[in-house]
Amino acid sequence: MDINILIFLIVLIKILKFIYNLLRKIYIKIRFYNYIYKNDIETECVICLDMINLNDNVYITECGHRYHLNCIIPWFKEQLTCPLCRFQIIL
Ligand SMILES: [Zn+2]
Ligand SMILES: [Zn+2]
């Protein structure tokens, strides 16, 4: 094998490894950001627009949205969908 090709391959592998590590770091940061953002918006109950506290009775729908139990029960008497995304609820 030509020594120039060998050097070229080694450099190429190093560049690819660098890009891979960079993308991994970006990916982890995006996941971390999404996690915080999601947790942040999901602490609000969209029915009463109040915050959901840790010691409140919470109903989590299959689509992952959270509501106060006291807010979602009257809503379910009207319609069996998620107020946020209209996901069909099966009780
Ligand atoms: Zn509520
Ligand atoms: Zn939903």
CATH number, domain of 26, equals 3.30.40
Distance 41 CA to ligand 2 centre (A): 13
91 located within any domain: no
90 located within any domain: no
Q: 8 falls in which pLDDT band (50, 70, 90)?
A: very high
72 located within any domain: yes
52 located within any domain: yes
Distance 34 CA to ligand 2 centre (A): 17
- pLDDT, position 35: 56
CA distance 56 to 29: 31
Q: What is the mean pLDDT of residues 44-50?
A: 91
- pLDDT, position 47: 93
pLDDT surpassing 90 at residue 70: yes
CA distance 18 to 1: 25
**85 alpha carbon, closest ligand:** 2
Alpha carbon distances (Å) from 19 to 4, 7, 27: 22, 18, 12
Domain that holds residue 61: 3-78
Distance 77 CA to ligand 2 centre (A): 17
39 located within any domain: yes
Q: 16 falls in which pLDDT band (50, 70, 90)?
A: very high
pLDDT surpassing 60 at residue 66: yes
> Residues within 5 Å of ion ligand 2 by Cβ?
63, 65, 82, 84-85, 87
**Total domains present in the chain:** 1
| pTM more than 0.75 | no
